[in-house]
Amino acid sequence: MENIEKKYYKIREVAEIIGLPPSTLRFWERKFTIIKPKRNDHGTRFYTAADLERIRLVAFLVKEKGMKLEAAEQQIRQNHSGISRKVEAIESLKQIRLKLKTMLDALNSRQPPRQKQP
Q: How far apart are CA 96 and CA 72, in angstroms?
A: 27
Q: What is the pLDDT of residue 89?
A: 78
Point out which residues pair with 45 in neighbouring strands. Answer: 39
Point out which residues pair with 46 in neighbouring strands. Answer: 38
pTM to 2 decimal places? 0.66
pLDDT tens-place values along the chain, 118 residues long: 445 577 899 999 999 999 999 999 999 999 988 889 999 999 999 999 889 988 988 998 898 889 899 888 888 888 766 777 777 777 778 889 899 998 888 888 876 666 666 6
Q: Which helix (H) or strand (E) holds 11?
A: helix 11-18
Q: What is the pLDDT of residue 27?
A: 95
* Chain centroid, CA 91 distance in Å: 8
